[in-house]
Structure 1
Protein backbone atom coordinates (compact mmCIF):
# COMPACT_ATOMS: atom_id res chain seq x y z
CA UNK A 1 0.00 0.00 0.00
CA UNK A 2 1.40 3.41 -0.95
CA UNK A 3 1.93 5.66 2.05
CA UNK A 4 -0.15 8.81 2.13
CA UNK A 5 1.83 12.05 2.19
CA UNK A 6 2.19 14.00 5.42
CA UNK A 7 -0.64 16.50 5.65
CA UNK A 8 -2.07 18.73 8.33
CA UNK A 9 -5.82 18.35 8.61
CA UNK A 10 -7.81 21.59 8.54
CA UNK A 11 -8.74 23.08 11.89
CA UNK A 12 -12.30 24.23 11.41
CA UNK A 13 -15.03 25.42 13.78
CA UNK A 14 -15.26 21.97 15.38
CA UNK A 15 -11.53 21.79 16.12
CA UNK A 16 -10.56 24.95 17.96
CA UNK A 17 -8.74 23.17 20.79
CA UNK A 18 -6.89 20.51 18.78
CA UNK A 19 -4.26 20.21 16.11
CA UNK A 20 -4.38 17.10 13.94
CA UNK A 21 -2.02 15.69 11.34
CA UNK A 22 -2.06 12.56 9.25
CA UNK A 23 0.94 10.61 8.02
CA UNK A 24 -0.01 7.45 6.16
CA UNK A 25 -2.11 5.29 8.47
CA UNK A 26 -1.09 7.28 11.56
CA UNK A 27 -3.29 10.11 12.85
CA UNK A 28 -1.85 12.41 15.53
CA UNK A 29 -4.28 14.38 17.69
CA UNK A 30 -2.64 17.12 19.75
CA UNK A 31 -4.37 18.90 22.63
CA UNK A 32 -3.61 22.48 21.63
CA UNK A 33 -4.40 24.97 24.37
CA UNK A 34 -0.89 25.18 25.90
CA UNK A 35 -1.55 28.54 27.53
CA UNK A 36 -4.13 26.72 29.68
CA UNK A 37 -2.03 23.61 30.20
CA UNK A 38 -4.33 21.75 27.75
CA UNK A 39 -6.97 21.61 30.49
CA UNK A 40 -10.08 19.61 29.63
CA UNK A 41 -13.05 21.81 28.78
CA UNK A 42 -16.40 21.08 27.17
CA UNK A 43 -15.02 22.56 23.94
CA UNK A 44 -12.05 20.19 23.98
CA UNK A 45 -14.30 17.20 24.64
CA UNK A 46 -16.59 18.25 21.77
CA UNK A 47 -13.60 18.57 19.45
CA UNK A 48 -12.19 15.19 20.46
CA UNK A 49 -15.55 13.53 19.88
CA UNK A 50 -15.85 15.18 16.46
CA UNK A 51 -12.40 13.91 15.41
CA UNK A 52 -12.95 10.40 16.77
CA UNK A 53 -16.40 10.06 15.22
CA UNK A 54 -15.20 11.32 11.83
CA UNK A 55 -12.09 9.15 11.80
CA UNK A 56 -10.97 7.66 8.48
CA UNK A 57 -11.30 3.83 8.60
CA UNK A 58 -7.84 3.64 7.01
CA UNK A 59 -6.26 5.00 10.20
CA UNK A 60 -4.50 2.14 12.01
CA UNK A 61 -2.77 4.15 14.77
CA UNK A 62 -4.04 7.22 16.62
CA UNK A 63 -1.52 9.16 18.73
CA UNK A 64 -2.81 11.44 21.49
CA UNK A 65 -0.39 14.10 22.67
CA UNK A 66 -0.30 17.64 24.03
CA UNK A 67 1.34 20.88 22.95
CA UNK A 68 3.45 23.08 25.21
CA UNK A 69 5.06 22.10 28.48
CA UNK A 70 2.46 19.60 29.71
CA UNK A 71 0.33 16.77 28.37
CA UNK A 72 -2.78 17.88 30.28
CA UNK A 73 -3.31 19.60 33.63
CA UNK A 74 -6.74 18.04 34.17
CA UNK A 75 -10.24 19.47 34.21
CA UNK A 76 -11.01 23.18 34.01
CA UNK A 77 -12.19 24.09 37.52
CA UNK A 78 -13.35 27.50 36.32
CA UNK A 79 -15.75 25.82 33.93
CA UNK A 80 -17.16 23.77 36.82
CA UNK A 81 -17.81 27.00 38.70
CA UNK A 82 -19.52 28.54 35.69
CA UNK A 83 -21.69 25.44 35.24
CA UNK A 84 -22.86 25.68 38.85
CA UNK A 85 -23.51 29.42 38.58
CA UNK A 86 -25.68 28.78 35.52
CA UNK A 87 -27.53 25.82 37.05
CA UNK A 88 -26.98 24.97 40.74
CA UNK A 89 -28.63 21.56 40.23
CA UNK A 90 -25.51 20.39 38.37
CA UNK A 91 -26.97 19.70 34.92
CA UNK A 92 -23.93 21.23 33.23
CA UNK A 93 -21.58 19.02 35.21
CA UNK A 94 -23.63 15.96 34.28
CA UNK A 95 -23.41 16.95 30.63
CA UNK A 96 -19.62 17.35 30.88
CA UNK A 97 -19.30 14.02 32.64
CA UNK A 98 -21.29 12.27 29.93
CA UNK A 99 -19.04 13.79 27.26
CA UNK A 100 -15.94 12.69 29.19
CA UNK A 101 -17.12 9.09 29.30
CA UNK A 102 -17.97 9.15 25.58
CA UNK A 103 -14.50 10.46 24.71
CA UNK A 104 -12.67 7.91 26.87
CA UNK A 105 -14.84 5.08 25.55
CA UNK A 106 -14.18 6.27 21.99
CA UNK A 107 -10.43 6.09 22.61
CA UNK A 108 -10.61 2.65 24.21
CA UNK A 109 -12.96 1.15 21.62
CA UNK A 110 -11.35 2.94 18.68
CA UNK A 111 -10.73 0.56 15.76
CA UNK A 112 -7.21 1.98 15.53
CA UNK A 113 -4.57 1.30 18.16
CA UNK A 114 -4.41 4.39 20.37
CA UNK A 115 -1.09 5.61 21.77
CA UNK A 116 -0.72 8.25 24.51
CA UNK A 117 2.48 10.29 24.16
CA UNK A 118 2.91 11.88 27.59
CA UNK A 119 5.28 14.65 28.65
CA UNK A 120 5.29 17.16 31.48
CA UNK A 121 2.33 16.77 33.82
CA UNK A 122 -0.67 14.48 33.38
CA UNK A 123 -3.13 15.33 36.14
CA UNK A 124 -6.63 14.03 36.87
CA UNK A 125 -8.60 14.08 33.63
CA UNK A 126 -5.32 14.21 31.71
CA UNK A 127 -4.27 10.92 33.27
CA UNK A 128 -7.71 9.52 32.41
CA UNK A 129 -7.30 10.43 28.73
CA UNK A 130 -3.88 8.76 28.62
CA UNK A 131 -5.15 5.67 30.44
CA UNK A 132 -7.98 5.27 27.91
CA UNK A 133 -5.33 4.59 25.23
CA UNK A 134 -4.00 1.13 24.40
CA UNK A 135 -0.31 2.01 24.66
CA UNK A 136 1.28 4.74 26.75
CA UNK A 137 4.81 6.12 26.56
CA UNK A 138 6.06 8.86 28.86
CA UNK A 139 9.05 11.15 29.10
CA UNK A 140 11.47 10.38 31.94
CA UNK A 141 10.59 13.64 33.70
CA UNK A 142 6.81 13.29 33.29
CA UNK A 143 4.76 13.38 36.50
CA UNK A 144 1.28 12.18 37.38
CA UNK A 145 -1.27 12.99 40.05
CA UNK A 146 -4.88 12.33 41.04
CA UNK A 147 -5.84 15.45 43.05
CA UNK A 148 -9.62 15.08 42.97
CA UNK A 149 -10.15 14.25 46.65
CA UNK A 150 -8.11 17.26 47.80
CA UNK A 151 -10.30 19.42 45.56
CA UNK A 152 -13.48 18.04 47.13
CA UNK A 153 -14.31 15.88 44.11
CA UNK A 154 -14.82 12.14 43.66
CA UNK A 155 -12.49 10.22 41.35
CA UNK A 156 -15.29 9.89 38.83
CA UNK A 157 -14.33 11.12 35.38
CA UNK A 158 -14.46 9.24 32.11
CA UNK A 159 -14.37 5.80 33.68
CA UNK A 160 -10.93 6.50 35.16
CA UNK A 161 -11.25 4.50 38.37
CA UNK A 162 -12.27 1.09 36.97
CA UNK A 163 -9.67 1.42 34.20
CA UNK A 164 -7.01 2.31 36.76
CA UNK A 165 -7.90 -0.58 39.05
CA UNK A 166 -7.93 -2.97 36.10
CA UNK A 167 -4.46 -1.87 34.96
CA UNK A 168 -2.79 -1.21 38.34
CA UNK A 169 -4.63 -3.09 41.08
CA UNK A 170 -6.92 -1.92 43.86
CA UNK A 171 -4.39 -1.58 46.69
CA UNK A 172 -2.00 0.68 44.78
CA UNK A 173 -4.84 2.75 43.31
CA UNK A 174 -6.33 3.25 46.77
CA UNK A 175 -3.07 4.79 47.97
CA UNK A 176 -2.72 7.09 44.94
CA UNK A 177 -6.32 8.29 45.15
CA UNK A 178 -6.49 8.83 48.92
CA UNK A 179 -3.15 10.62 49.23
CA UNK A 180 -3.29 12.49 45.92
CA UNK A 181 0.52 12.47 45.83
CA UNK A 182 2.49 13.07 42.67
CA UNK A 183 4.40 10.14 41.18
CA UNK A 184 7.10 9.84 38.56
CA UNK A 185 7.22 8.25 35.15
CA UNK A 186 9.38 5.46 36.56
CA UNK A 187 6.72 4.64 39.16
CA UNK A 188 3.99 4.97 36.55
CA UNK A 189 5.81 2.33 34.50
CA UNK A 190 6.13 0.04 37.51
CA UNK A 191 2.35 0.40 37.99
CA UNK A 192 1.65 -0.34 34.28
CA UNK A 193 0.22 3.15 33.80
CA UNK A 194 3.02 3.55 31.27
CA UNK A 195 4.43 0.70 29.23
CA UNK A 196 7.55 2.60 28.19
CA UNK A 197 9.63 5.50 29.55
CA UNK A 198 12.20 7.37 27.45
CA UNK A 199 14.00 10.73 27.45
CA UNK A 200 11.63 13.41 26.18
CA UNK A 201 13.56 13.89 22.93
CA UNK A 202 13.00 10.20 22.15
CA UNK A 203 9.21 10.22 22.53
CA UNK A 204 8.54 10.47 18.80
CA UNK A 205 10.94 7.61 18.11
CA UNK A 206 9.25 5.46 20.73
CA UNK A 207 5.84 6.16 19.20
CA UNK A 208 7.16 5.35 15.72
CA UNK A 209 8.69 2.08 16.97
CA UNK A 210 5.23 1.00 18.11
CA UNK A 211 3.37 2.38 15.10
CA UNK A 212 5.54 0.89 12.32
CA UNK A 213 4.67 -2.78 12.92
CA UNK A 214 1.04 -2.01 13.82
CA UNK A 215 0.25 -0.29 10.50
CA UNK A 216 1.46 -3.43 8.68
CA UNK A 217 -1.02 -5.70 10.48
CA UNK A 218 -4.07 -6.88 8.51
CA UNK A 219 -6.87 -4.48 9.47
CA UNK A 220 -9.51 -7.12 10.23
CA UNK A 221 -7.18 -9.08 12.49
CA UNK A 222 -6.12 -5.87 14.23
CA UNK A 223 -9.72 -4.81 14.92
CA UNK A 224 -10.77 -8.23 16.20
CA UNK A 225 -7.70 -8.60 18.40
CA UNK A 226 -8.23 -5.19 19.95
CA UNK A 227 -11.89 -6.01 20.57
CA UNK A 228 -10.88 -9.27 22.27
CA UNK A 229 -8.34 -7.50 24.46
CA UNK A 230 -10.91 -4.90 25.52
CA UNK A 231 -13.56 -7.53 26.16
CA UNK A 232 -11.27 -9.66 28.30
CA UNK A 233 -10.08 -6.63 30.24
CA UNK A 234 -13.66 -5.55 30.87
CA UNK A 235 -14.67 -9.04 31.93
CA UNK A 236 -11.97 -9.00 34.62
CA UNK A 237 -13.80 -6.22 36.48
CA UNK A 238 -16.32 -7.40 39.05
CA UNK A 239 -18.42 -4.31 38.48
CA UNK A 240 -17.97 -1.15 36.45
CA UNK A 241 -20.01 1.65 37.99
CA UNK A 242 -18.36 4.35 35.87
CA UNK A 243 -21.70 4.80 34.06
CA UNK A 244 -22.58 6.76 37.21
CA UNK A 245 -19.54 9.06 37.02
CA UNK A 246 -21.47 12.08 35.76
CA UNK A 247 -24.19 11.71 38.39
CA UNK A 248 -21.67 11.18 41.20
CA UNK A 249 -19.63 14.21 40.22
CA UNK A 250 -22.70 16.43 39.98
CA UNK A 251 -24.09 15.18 43.30
CA UNK A 252 -20.86 15.80 45.22
CA UNK A 253 -20.21 19.22 43.70
CA UNK A 254 -23.75 20.50 44.25
CA UNK A 255 -23.86 19.15 47.81
CA UNK A 256 -20.52 20.78 48.60
CA UNK A 257 -21.77 24.08 47.27
CA UNK A 258 -24.99 23.81 49.28
CA UNK A 259 -23.00 23.04 52.45
CA UNK A 260 -20.78 26.08 51.95
CA UNK A 261 -23.75 28.37 51.33
CA UNK A 262 -25.80 27.18 54.30
CA UNK A 263 -22.86 26.93 56.68
Structure 2
Protein backbone atom coordinates (compact mmCIF):
# COMPACT_ATOMS: atom_id res chain seq x y z
CA UNK A 1 0.00 0.00 0.00
CA UNK A 2 1.20 3.49 -0.81
CA UNK A 3 2.02 5.07 2.57
CA UNK A 4 0.81 8.49 1.41
CA UNK A 5 -2.53 7.32 -0.03
CA UNK A 6 -5.92 7.72 1.66
CA UNK A 7 -6.90 4.84 3.94
CA UNK A 8 -9.92 2.95 2.66
CA UNK A 9 -12.68 1.84 5.07
CA UNK A 10 -11.93 -1.49 6.72
CA UNK A 11 -8.17 -1.29 6.17
CA UNK A 12 -5.17 -0.99 8.44
CA UNK A 13 -1.78 0.55 7.85
CA UNK A 14 1.18 -0.16 10.08
CA UNK A 15 3.99 2.30 9.58
CA UNK A 16 7.17 2.12 11.66
CA UNK A 17 5.95 4.40 14.48
CA UNK A 18 2.24 4.93 13.77
CA UNK A 19 -0.59 2.44 13.30
CA UNK A 20 -3.84 3.39 11.57
CA UNK A 21 -7.15 1.59 11.31
CA UNK A 22 -10.18 2.78 9.35
CA UNK A 23 -13.63 1.88 10.70
CA UNK A 24 -16.20 3.43 8.39
CA UNK A 25 -15.98 7.21 8.73
CA UNK A 26 -13.66 6.94 11.75
CA UNK A 27 -9.88 6.84 11.42
CA UNK A 28 -7.96 5.55 14.45
CA UNK A 29 -4.36 6.82 14.57
CA UNK A 30 -2.17 5.21 17.23
CA UNK A 31 1.32 6.30 18.26
CA UNK A 32 3.06 2.94 18.17
CA UNK A 33 6.38 3.03 20.03
CA UNK A 34 5.27 1.65 23.41
CA UNK A 35 8.81 0.55 24.30
CA UNK A 36 9.78 4.25 24.46
CA UNK A 37 6.48 5.54 25.82
CA UNK A 38 5.61 6.61 22.26
CA UNK A 39 8.40 9.17 22.25
CA UNK A 40 7.99 11.47 19.24
CA UNK A 41 10.71 11.29 16.60
CA UNK A 42 11.10 12.88 13.18
CA UNK A 43 9.83 9.62 11.71
CA UNK A 44 6.73 9.85 13.90
CA UNK A 45 6.08 13.38 12.65
CA UNK A 46 6.61 12.36 9.01
CA UNK A 47 4.22 9.43 9.38
CA UNK A 48 1.57 11.48 11.15
CA UNK A 49 1.81 14.04 8.35
CA UNK A 50 1.45 11.31 5.71
CA UNK A 51 -1.82 10.27 7.39
CA UNK A 52 -3.22 13.73 8.11
CA UNK A 53 -2.30 15.58 4.91
CA UNK A 54 -4.76 13.75 2.65
CA UNK A 55 -8.11 15.59 2.38
CA UNK A 56 -10.28 12.44 2.49
CA UNK A 57 -13.78 13.84 2.84
CA UNK A 58 -15.17 10.45 3.90
CA UNK A 59 -13.25 10.60 7.20
CA UNK A 60 -15.51 12.29 9.74
CA UNK A 61 -13.63 11.62 12.99
CA UNK A 62 -9.97 10.98 13.80
CA UNK A 63 -9.14 9.34 17.14
CA UNK A 64 -5.52 9.84 18.27
CA UNK A 65 -4.23 7.44 20.92
CA UNK A 66 -1.02 5.82 22.17
CA UNK A 67 -0.08 2.14 22.35
CA UNK A 68 0.94 0.70 25.71
CA UNK A 69 0.50 2.17 29.18
CA UNK A 70 1.17 5.82 28.22
CA UNK A 71 -0.23 8.19 25.61
CA UNK A 72 3.10 9.90 24.89
CA UNK A 73 6.11 10.67 27.08
CA UNK A 74 7.30 13.57 24.93
CA UNK A 75 10.01 14.16 22.38
CA UNK A 76 12.82 11.66 21.89
CA UNK A 77 15.73 13.38 23.60
CA UNK A 78 18.21 10.83 22.30
CA UNK A 79 17.28 11.89 18.78
CA UNK A 80 17.75 15.54 19.78
CA UNK A 81 21.33 14.73 20.84
CA UNK A 82 21.96 12.86 17.60
CA UNK A 83 20.67 15.80 15.56
CA UNK A 84 22.90 18.18 17.49
CA UNK A 85 25.93 15.93 17.02
CA UNK A 86 25.32 16.05 13.26
CA UNK A 87 24.73 19.82 13.21
CA UNK A 88 25.77 21.70 16.39
CA UNK A 89 24.15 24.88 15.02
CA UNK A 90 20.72 23.30 15.50
CA UNK A 91 19.72 22.91 11.85
CA UNK A 92 18.24 19.45 12.42
CA UNK A 93 16.29 20.70 15.43
CA UNK A 94 14.81 23.50 13.31
CA UNK A 95 13.62 21.02 10.70
CA UNK A 96 12.11 18.74 13.36
CA UNK A 97 10.43 21.72 15.05
CA UNK A 98 8.92 22.87 11.78
CA UNK A 99 7.51 19.38 11.25
CA UNK A 100 6.03 19.40 14.77
CA UNK A 101 4.19 22.65 14.11
CA UNK A 102 2.98 21.38 10.73
CA UNK A 103 1.55 18.21 12.31
CA UNK A 104 -0.18 20.02 15.18
CA UNK A 105 -1.69 22.55 12.77
CA UNK A 106 -2.89 19.66 10.60
CA UNK A 107 -4.63 18.07 13.59
CA UNK A 108 -6.32 21.32 14.57
CA UNK A 109 -7.21 22.35 11.04
CA UNK A 110 -8.35 18.96 9.76
CA UNK A 111 -11.89 18.90 8.39
CA UNK A 112 -12.62 15.85 10.59
CA UNK A 113 -13.32 16.17 14.31
CA UNK A 114 -10.16 15.11 16.14
CA UNK A 115 -10.32 13.30 19.49
CA UNK A 116 -7.36 12.58 21.80
CA UNK A 117 -7.89 9.37 23.81
CA UNK A 118 -5.43 9.53 26.68
CA UNK A 119 -4.25 6.94 29.16
CA UNK A 120 -1.19 7.11 31.39
CA UNK A 121 1.15 10.04 30.92
CA UNK A 122 1.03 12.83 28.34
CA UNK A 123 4.25 14.80 28.73
CA UNK A 124 5.69 17.68 26.72
CA UNK A 125 5.10 16.91 23.05
CA UNK A 126 2.42 14.42 24.12
CA UNK A 127 0.43 17.22 25.73
CA UNK A 128 0.96 19.36 22.63
CA UNK A 129 -0.52 16.67 20.38
CA UNK A 130 -3.49 16.26 22.73
CA UNK A 131 -4.18 20.01 22.92
CA UNK A 132 -4.18 20.19 19.12
CA UNK A 133 -7.28 17.95 19.10
CA UNK A 134 -10.86 19.25 19.23
CA UNK A 135 -11.89 16.89 22.02
CA UNK A 136 -9.86 15.20 24.75
CA UNK A 137 -10.99 12.28 26.89
CA UNK A 138 -8.79 10.73 29.55
CA UNK A 139 -8.68 7.79 31.89
CA UNK A 140 -8.80 8.46 35.62
CA UNK A 141 -5.14 7.43 35.72
CA UNK A 142 -4.06 9.99 33.10
CA UNK A 143 -1.57 12.68 34.05
CA UNK A 144 0.05 15.61 32.30
CA UNK A 145 3.32 17.47 32.67
CA UNK A 146 5.48 20.10 31.00
CA UNK A 147 9.04 19.51 32.27
CA UNK A 148 10.76 21.58 29.57
CA UNK A 149 11.83 24.46 31.80
CA UNK A 150 13.27 22.08 34.40
CA UNK A 151 15.26 20.49 31.56
CA UNK A 152 16.57 23.86 30.40
CA UNK A 153 14.29 24.03 27.36
CA UNK A 154 11.73 26.61 26.23
CA UNK A 155 8.07 25.63 25.99
CA UNK A 156 8.29 25.74 22.22
CA UNK A 157 7.04 22.66 20.39
CA UNK A 158 4.24 22.45 17.87
CA UNK A 159 2.49 25.64 18.98
CA UNK A 160 1.93 24.21 22.46
CA UNK A 161 2.19 27.48 24.38
CA UNK A 162 -0.54 29.51 22.61
CA UNK A 163 -2.89 26.51 22.73
CA UNK A 164 -2.25 26.02 26.44
CA UNK A 165 -2.78 29.72 27.16
CA UNK A 166 -6.04 29.69 25.22
CA UNK A 167 -7.46 26.48 26.71
CA UNK A 168 -6.26 26.86 30.31
CA UNK A 169 -5.77 30.60 30.82
CA UNK A 170 -2.60 32.61 31.35
CA UNK A 171 -2.40 32.44 35.15
CA UNK A 172 -2.75 28.66 35.38
CA UNK A 173 -0.50 28.10 32.36
CA UNK A 174 2.28 30.09 34.07
CA UNK A 175 2.04 27.93 37.18
CA UNK A 176 2.03 24.68 35.18
CA UNK A 177 5.07 25.69 33.14
CA UNK A 178 7.14 27.35 35.87
CA UNK A 179 6.71 24.54 38.42
CA UNK A 180 6.85 21.65 35.92
CA UNK A 181 4.56 19.71 38.24
CA UNK A 182 2.32 16.80 37.26
CA UNK A 183 -1.43 17.33 36.82
CA UNK A 184 -3.81 14.47 37.47
CA UNK A 185 -6.92 13.73 35.44
CA UNK A 186 -9.40 15.51 37.73
CA UNK A 187 -7.35 18.70 37.75
CA UNK A 188 -6.88 18.42 34.00
CA UNK A 189 -10.67 18.27 33.69
CA UNK A 190 -11.07 21.41 35.78
CA UNK A 191 -8.50 23.19 33.57
CA UNK A 192 -10.15 22.07 30.30
CA UNK A 193 -7.06 20.09 29.33
CA UNK A 194 -9.55 17.22 29.38
CA UNK A 195 -13.25 17.54 28.64
CA UNK A 196 -14.18 14.16 30.10
CA UNK A 197 -12.65 11.68 32.56
CA UNK A 198 -13.69 8.03 32.78
CA UNK A 199 -12.39 4.81 34.37
CA UNK A 200 -9.57 3.38 32.25
CA UNK A 201 -11.57 0.21 31.53
CA UNK A 202 -14.32 2.37 30.00
CA UNK A 203 -12.08 4.65 27.90
CA UNK A 204 -12.74 2.92 24.58
CA UNK A 205 -16.50 2.81 25.08
CA UNK A 206 -16.67 6.43 26.25
CA UNK A 207 -14.75 7.48 23.14
CA UNK A 208 -17.19 5.54 20.98
CA UNK A 209 -20.07 7.27 22.76
CA UNK A 210 -18.59 10.60 21.66
CA UNK A 211 -18.01 9.43 18.10
CA UNK A 212 -21.52 8.10 17.45
CA UNK A 213 -23.43 11.41 17.55
CA UNK A 214 -20.67 13.23 15.66
CA UNK A 215 -20.77 10.93 12.64
CA UNK A 216 -24.57 11.31 12.48
CA UNK A 217 -24.31 15.06 11.97
CA UNK A 218 -24.81 16.38 8.42
CA UNK A 219 -21.42 16.43 6.76
CA UNK A 220 -21.47 19.99 5.41
CA UNK A 221 -22.79 21.45 8.66
CA UNK A 222 -20.11 19.61 10.64
CA UNK A 223 -17.27 20.86 8.45
CA UNK A 224 -18.52 24.44 8.45
CA UNK A 225 -19.08 24.43 12.22
CA UNK A 226 -15.56 23.19 12.90
CA UNK A 227 -14.16 25.80 10.51
CA UNK A 228 -16.11 28.53 12.31
CA UNK A 229 -14.97 27.37 15.74
CA UNK A 230 -11.35 27.30 14.58
CA UNK A 231 -11.74 30.81 13.17
CA UNK A 232 -13.28 32.23 16.34
CA UNK A 233 -10.82 30.54 18.69
CA UNK A 234 -7.92 31.74 16.53
CA UNK A 235 -8.98 35.37 17.02
CA UNK A 236 -7.61 35.62 20.60
CA UNK A 237 -4.35 34.11 19.31
CA UNK A 238 -3.59 36.78 16.71
CA UNK A 239 -0.23 37.37 18.39
CA UNK A 240 0.61 33.65 18.12
CA UNK A 241 4.38 33.44 17.56
CA UNK A 242 4.54 29.64 17.43
CA UNK A 243 6.14 29.94 13.99
CA UNK A 244 9.27 30.76 16.01
CA UNK A 245 9.09 27.54 18.05
CA UNK A 246 11.60 25.66 15.92
CA UNK A 247 14.07 28.56 15.97
CA UNK A 248 13.75 29.02 19.73
CA UNK A 249 14.19 25.32 20.51
CA UNK A 250 17.15 25.03 18.15
CA UNK A 251 18.86 28.10 19.60
CA UNK A 252 18.54 26.93 23.20
CA UNK A 253 19.56 23.34 22.47
CA UNK A 254 22.47 24.38 20.28
CA UNK A 255 23.69 26.74 22.99
CA UNK A 256 23.49 24.14 25.73
CA UNK A 257 25.09 21.54 23.44
CA UNK A 258 28.02 23.88 22.80
CA UNK A 259 28.46 24.52 26.53
CA UNK A 260 28.34 20.80 27.28
CA UNK A 261 30.99 20.07 24.67
CA UNK A 262 33.18 22.88 25.99
CA UNK A 263 32.84 21.80 29.62
CA UNK A 264 33.47 18.14 28.80
CA UNK A 265 36.33 18.94 26.41
CA UNK A 266 34.54 17.49 23.44
CA UNK A 267 32.80 14.55 25.13
CA UNK A 268 29.05 15.12 24.99
CA UNK A 269 26.83 13.81 27.75
CA UNK A 270 24.11 11.73 26.08
CA UNK A 271 20.72 11.28 27.74
CA UNK A 272 20.13 7.85 29.24
CA UNK A 273 16.46 7.82 28.41
CA UNK A 274 14.46 8.36 25.25
CA UNK A 275 12.12 10.89 26.82
CA UNK A 276 11.75 13.47 29.54
CA UNK A 277 12.95 12.16 32.92
CA UNK A 278 11.07 13.03 36.08
CA UNK A 279 12.84 16.13 37.40
Calculate the TM-score normalised by the size of structure 2: 0.89
1:238 Cα offset (Å): 4.8
1:90 Cα offset (Å): 0.4
1:257 Cα offset (Å): 1.8
Aligned residues: 256
1:98-151 deviation digits (Å, cap 9, x = unpaired)? 000000000000100000000000000000000100000000011110000111
Rounded Cα–Cα distance in structure 1 between residues aligned with 2:90 and 2:219: 42
Match of 1:237 in 2: 237
Rounded Cα–Cα distance in structure 1 between residues aligned with 2:127 and 2:155: 12
1:1-263 → structure 2 map (5 Å cutoff): 7-11=10-14, 15-54=15-54, 56-263=56-263
Q: Which runs of 4+ in 1 moved over 6 A?
A: none
Rounded Cα–Cα distance in structure 2 between residues aligned with 1:9 and 1:177: 38
Range 124-133 or range 49-58, more displaced: 49-58
**The residue matched to 2:222 in structure 1 has which SS?**
helix
Gapped regions of structure 1 (runs ≥ 5): none
**The residue matched to 1:98 in structure 2 has which SS?**
helix
Rounded Cα–Cα distance in structure 1 between residues aligned with 2:36 and 2:53: 25
1:7 Cα offset (Å): 2.5
Rounded Cα–Cα distance in structure 2 between residues aligned with 1:64 and 1:171: 28
Report the RMSD for the aligned CA atoms in angstroms. 1.3
1:202 Cα offset (Å): 0.8
1:55 Cα offset (Å): 5.2
1:6 Cα offset (Å): 6.9
Gapped regions of structure 2 (runs ≥ 5): 1-7, 264-279
Higher relative contact order (CA 8 A, sep 6+): 2
Calculate the TM-score normalised by the size of structure 1: 0.95
